[in-house]
Structure formats: structure tokens, C-alpha cells
Structure 1
Amino acid sequence: MKRRYLLAGTGAVGTALSLPAIAQGIRELRMVTDWPSNVPGTLDAAVQLAEAIQAATNGRLRIDVSAAGAVVRPFETLDAVAAGLADMYHSAEYYFESKSPGFTFFAAVPFGLTAQEHFAWVRYGGGQALWDSLSAEYGIKPILCGSTGSQMGGWFTSEITSAAGFRGLRYRMPGLGGEVLRRMDAAVVTVAGGEIRPALRSGALDASEWVGPWADMALGLHEVANYYYYPGFHEPGTALTLGINKAVWESFSPSDRRLIEGIAAGEFSRSLAEFNANNAVWLRRLRDAGTVQVRRFDDELLRTMLRQSREVVAEAGERDSHARLIAESHRAFQASIRDWSDVAERAFLNARGLD
């Protein structure tokens, strides 16, 4: 990537932060992320969020954005922000499920909510209050700030024709989706995005998901795996999070808090549109190249995944008091919105496909 990710403290920006500027109320903040620097979409989303906040505050709030591993190790971003080593993180909450499975409901749930349904649940279905309560225990204020949209099922070095094909398969998948595959006897691991390609090439992994064609091909996954399966049962609309140290959040004026929340909501829509537009372009390029077979998981395999997913999600919702309340809310909202989604989105897409 050519983009400069440090937005403050270097070059002309660093020169601008003279003593008179600091006296005028300019505040520098550090954002850590779980995104590698060599793929588009996720780290770009963090940078654009930071740039939007800086522009909207006329430069009063300036945010340094760091790629995964530059300041803290991948998946330790929440801990770093909670400890005050950074002011905020940009990540996906399923990376923190070891603290509570409740976190993963705010990223993606197997056979769960789509991106727009997820946004509706958090903003208008009671999700935000439950998320605030969970995150407050770790000193974090969480805000939705992005979405990758629907993801792909993953890259495989060999053909998958049935559930039996997952036995012993070394598969990279985070969150509850990973637990689903464990119950199908896969050997599931979580590695950082930048480690996926060499692991597939060396044989340390047999399969891996990441995001979709745009980001996956930037990682070069199409060069080390011959099969690309869909749908991504595990991540139907993955949400990205801006997590802010609670003391830092409370130090902002009410107007700045409202501004940050509004910008984050706008970035959710913008990033979703960006992923959808670019995934369409790169899927076509992949098909045209003809070197990778793009395949759909068959219905019987998907039914197996669905049965396992229901068990996994239900059990995750019983592991602690926060997870219980979050899972109940998530389940009730999905049940309530399903009819409308079928009548509106699914019916229209089916009709559009009649040509």
C-alpha cells in the first residue's frame, strides 16, 4: 500500500504540532488495529475514519493509526486500549471472544445477521446498551464503524464435496465459525492475516477464510489455493469496531462524542459500499482468469453447518451473564426481522434472477 498510515507526529503534521498549536486545543490520539498493512479495505477503513474525525473537528483531534504488530501484537488491541497504552482500537470483536463470547455477537454470528440487519440491531434493537455494558468491564466504549459485508467461505487447497472433507483439515477461521468447524473435526487455528498466504503455501494450513475477493487477492491467496468456496456461513455481515478507552471517551465534550458517533455510522455505510463495489470487480477478475475454481458449498453440507451453528451459538450464549443477555437479544431480533428480510431483500433478489 502506498497510503501513509501515521496521520500525526510525522512530516508536515508533526511540524504543525508546535506549542502554539497545542495551546489551541489540538489533541493527539493513538489508534491500534488488527489489520495488516498490505491488504486493502480494513486498515484503509481505520485510516479514513481517523481522517474524517480530524477533518470534522478542524484538526483538533488527530489520530495516529498503526497496522497490526506495529505497536501491539495482533489480537491484543483491546488489552492495549484498556491499559491506556493506546487511546482506541479498530478491530472485529470476535478476536476478543476469550474474554466473553458476548463480544463475537458484535462482529459476526454463523447464519446470523447481515450487515444491514446487524446495524439495525445495534442501533435500534437494544444491542448498543448490551455492548456498552459488556465493554465497560474492560474500560472500553464500543462503536460500530465499518462492515466488510458478506464474506466468502474460504480458500481450499483441495476440493470439498461433503462434511467428511473437513476431518483433520487445518483451517484458519476465528470466532464461533471456527468452533462450528471444530465440531466437524477440523483442526482450527487463528493466525493474523499477513500469515495466511505463507501458511497455505507451506502446507501448515489446508484452508483459510479472510474476507472476500478484493482483500483476499491482495494477500495473494488465489496464488496458493485452487478452490474458493461460498457462501461464508460464518460471517454473513462482519462488523468492524471503534473501541475507545472509556476515560478518553468521557473526556470528550458531548458534542465531540456525538460527532464521533455520527462519523462512525457514516463510515459503516461507506466501508460496506466500498467492499461490495470492489468485491464485485475482483470476483469478475478471478472468474475471467480461470485459474481458481469458484464453487458453492452444496446444500447438504450447508445443512450440517447450520445444525452445528445453532448448537454453537446457543452454547456461547450460556457461558456468562453478558453473553446470555446479548444472545437472547440477538436471537429475538433475528427472528423479528427475518420475515421482513425475506419479503424485501430475498424476494427481490430471487425475482431479479429470473431473467
Structure 2
Amino acid sequence: MNRRDVLKVGAAGAASVALAAPAIAQNVIQWKMVTAWPKNLPGPGVAAQMLADRITALSGGRIEVKLFAAGELVPGRGVFDAVSEGTAELYHAVPAYWGSKSKGILLFGSQPFGLLADEQAGWMVHGGGQALYDEMYGRFNLKPFLCGNSGPQWQGWFRTEIKSVDDLKGLKFRTTGLASEMCSKLGMAVQAMGGRDMFQALQSGALDAGEFIGPWTDSALGFYQVAKNYYWPGVGEPSSAEECAVNTEAYGALPDDLKQAVAYACESLYNPVWTEYTTKSGQALKQLVADHGVQVRKLPDDVIIAMGNAAGEVINDLREDQDELVRRITDSFLAYREIVKDYKPYADNGQMNARVMDYKY
């Protein structure tokens, strides 16, 4: 081959590369993620963007995920239907918002007097929870994944002190999920709304109290400006899992390696999201007390016991649900709760009790 032929081959090769590049670019899968949160809301809004970025990264750029915050493409509470119907490919939200679809869904996010964040992941991975999660969401054309957790939530912000169970009767209170059913059984006037609406309702007196997440997110929303009594423990949500659900057709169309990339993006964020909540809520609580005069108060024991009894009634209602799948989900949750309920007092409780004893460390 002479020099002229080499130049011809080189030119042809360069042309083929130039033509191939746009073809590869055209094969990038573009997904819309809709979320239940304002853009970059500390906590869930931040976590949603992390997930969008991680799916893109782990797919090697073959899936580009564009995030649409609540209200940008669909309302926050409309994301479930939007992805189910194919308006968007995936969403980021919490299972606690979808009780109108099925009461069984609520157990995958949080349960009054239920599972802590590590226990929730344990149930899903080792206790049969994921298979039930898939079965339930499959009814709605969705493939679900847990992708984070808030850790223990707080009982919330109260305009006045709570001294007994009687103080709860008629109390206008914002909460969601199964916690709302627990509170309703105690005579509380439960309302569901977003965090920004909750602030306005507390400010106007339309609400007497409400819970959203915990110190990090709650401080960003400014609840301390309109209610100074911050109550713990948040027995309505000992943890609250965040989820990503993908449209079944969109997920099924992916090659196996990209399916794995989406699944691992969700799984790999569970601990980073959970530990970020823990870290930043610890920092935020100190500031709420020191800088904003927040009064941290413990629920009276009789209130906790009354809530526990009401929560038991809620779970019994689920065990008797007409939907056989809801009954199976509830039984699986209770079986796993029994395992960890007997173990954790020796493990976690023992360590926490030892930590607060009077010694020089």
C-alpha cells in the first residue's frame, strides 16, 4: 500500500468515527424523573437529585435523567399516576403518600411503632419484603425500589403543650400514611398537606400542630417560627423510607446491565441518604434550640401508650383487609418486626443506654 492509499484509508476511518459519534449520542435514553418535593429541599429534594445523577453516572451516561420538581411537570401528589401512565419514566417520593391506591403500600414506607431504617432495609432484603413490594406496585405498572430513609422522624411542631391524651382530642394535626389513621383513632382532626402548606396553616391557625420529617428539613421550612414546642419520639414514623418507582415498560425495555445500574443506584443511596439525615438533623437540632428558642419536649407516657394502642388497631385492620395481598404484606411485616423487636433491646438499646451513663467519655 502506497502513501496515497494510506491517506485514503485514514480519511475514511476519520469519517466513520465522525459519523458514529452522533449515532451513539442518539442512542442515549432520556428519562424524566418527577418528584414529590420542591427543588433541592433539604432532605428529600436533595436525595432526589442525587438519585437522578447517580443513575446517569452508573449507566455510563447511557441513561440521562432530568429531574422535574413538584409542580414543574405534574403536582407532587400526582407523580405516582404520571409514572404509572407513562407521562414520566420514574419518580422520587415516599410510599406514605399512596394509601388511596392500597393500604398495603403504606407499610413499605413507615409504620407507627414499626421498623427503624436498618430494620426496614432488613425486611425488604432478608424478610421477603421486596417480593411483596414488587407484587403490589406491579398492579400499577411500576417497578419499585427503596432509595433512602429519613431515620426516626419527630412527632412534630405544636403551638401549645401536650400534657395528656385529652389534649389530643379535636387537635388539628398534619401527618400522613398510617400515622394519620393512628391519630384519627385518638380523635385528632388529621389533615394531609405539603411542608410549605403546613407552615402557612400553622401560621394562620388552620393547624394546631403538625409533623413533616425531622430537624434538618423542618428547620429549612421554618416551622420553628410559628410553633416552638417540638415533640419526640415520633412514634408515628420510627423511620420513613424514600422510594423510586420506574414505569414497568420503560424498565423492561432496558438491557440487563442498565436495569442493574438503576437498581444499584437506588440501593447504593439508602445508607448515604439515611446517614445524611442523621448527621444534619443532629446539627440542626442544636441550632433550633440555641438560636431559635425551640422547646424540645417528650410526649407524656400516657400519650405514647394511647398511640401504641391505636397503632395496634390500625395494624389489626390491615390484617383483616379484604385484599389478600394487603394481608400477606401485613403478616410479613409483623413477622419481621417480631424478630428485631426481641433482638434490638440487647443490641441497640443496650449500647444507647451505656452511652448516656455517667463516665468520663
What's the TM-score, normalizing by structure 2? 0.91
SS in 2 for 1:106: coil
Report the counterpart of residue 143 of structure 1 in structure 2.
145
Q: Is the 8 A contact 1:200 1:225 kept in 2?
A: yes
After TM superposition, list the pairs within 5 Å mapping 1:1-355 onto structure 2. Answer: 20=22, 23-37=25-39, 39-289=41-291, 291-319=293-321, 320-355=323-358
SS in 1 for 2:76: coil
Q: Is the 8 A contact 1:35 1:193 kept in 2?
A: no
Return the letter of the residue paired with 1:111.
Answer: F
Which whole-Å deviations, capped at 9, do the CAs of 1:125-172 have from their partners, x for residues lacking one? 100001111100100000010111110100011111111111111100
More displaced stretch, 65-74 vs 267-276: 65-74
| Partners of 2:307 and 2:198 in 1: CA distance | 23
| Partners of 2:77 and 2:185 in 1: CA distance | 24
| Partners of 1:93 and 1:174 in 2: CA distance | 10
Return the letter of the residue paired with 1:134.
Answer: M
Which whole-Å deviations, capped at 9, do the CAs of 1:169-217 have from their partners, x for residues lacking one? 1100001111111111111010112211111101111111011111001
| Partners of 1:327 and 1:61 in 2: CA distance | 36
| Partners of 1:256 and 1:39 in 2: CA distance | 28
| Partners of 1:154 and 1:339 in 2: CA distance | 28
Report the counterpart of residue 8 of structure 1 in structure 2.
none
| Partners of 1:334 and 1:23 in 2: CA distance | 48
Q: Is the 8 A contact 1:101 1:317 kept in 2?
A: no
| Shift of residue 316, structure 1, vs aligned partner | 2.4
Q: Is the 8 A contact 1:81 1:89 kept in 2?
A: yes
Report the counterpart of residue 16 of structure 2 in structure 1.
none
| Shift of residue 24, structure 1, vs aligned partner | 4.9
| Shift of residue 317, structure 1, vs aligned partner | 3.4
| Partners of 1:38 and 1:125 in 2: CA distance | 33
| Partners of 1:77 and 1:134 in 2: CA distance | 17
SS in 2 for 1:63: strand
SS in 1 for 2:77: coil
Q: Is the 8 A contact 1:176 1:312 kept in 2?
A: yes
| Partners of 2:26 and 2:71 in 1: CA distance | 33
Q: Is the 8 A contact 1:36 1:193 kept in 2?
A: no
| Shift of residue 279, structure 1, vs aligned partner | 0.3
Report the counterpart of residue 5 of structure 2 in structure 1.
none
SS in 1 for 2:345: helix
Report the counterpart of residue 15 of structure 1 in structure 2.
none
| Partners of 1:109 and 1:169 in 2: CA distance | 21
| Partners of 2:331 and 2:311 in 1: CA distance | 15
SS in 2 for 1:75: helix
Report the counterpart of residue 13 of structure 2 in structure 1.
none
Q: Is the 8 A contact 2:40 2:49 kept in 1?
A: no
Report the counterpart of residue 11 of structure 2 in structure 1.
none
| Shift of residue 69, structure 1, vs aligned partner | 1.7
SS in 2 for 1:171: strand
| Partners of 1:199 and 1:37 in 2: CA distance | 21
| Shift of residue 38, structure 1, vs aligned partner | 6.2
Q: Is the 8 A contact 1:38 1:218 kept in 2?
A: no
Report the counterpart of residue 16 of structure 1 in structure 2.
none
| Partners of 1:322 and 1:32 in 2: CA distance | 28
Q: Would the alpha carbon gap of residues 290 and 69 (structure 1) be closer, same or farther in structure 2, given more than 3 Å must change? A: closer
Q: Would the alpha carbon gap of residues 229 and 21 (structure 1) be closer, same or farther in structure 2, given more than 3 Å must change? A: farther
| Partners of 2:292 and 2:92 in 1: CA distance | 35
| Partners of 2:334 and 2:301 in 1: CA distance | 23
Return the letter of the residue paired with 1:216.
Answer: D
| Partners of 1:237 and 1:109 in 2: CA distance | 8
What's the TM-score, normalizing by structure 1? 0.92
Which whole-Å deviations, capped at 9, do the CAs of 1:59-86 have from their partners, x for residues lacking one? 1111111111221122221111111111
Root-mean-square deviation over aligned CA pairs: 1.5
| Partners of 1:186 and 1:21 in 2: CA distance | 60
SS in 2 for 1:121: helix
User: How many residues are paired up?
Assistant: 338
Q: Structure 2 regions of 5+ residues with no counterpart? A: 1-20
| Shift of residue 22, structure 1, vs aligned partner | 5.8
Return the letter of the residue paired with 1:324.
Answer: R
Identity over the aligned pairs, expressed in percent? 36
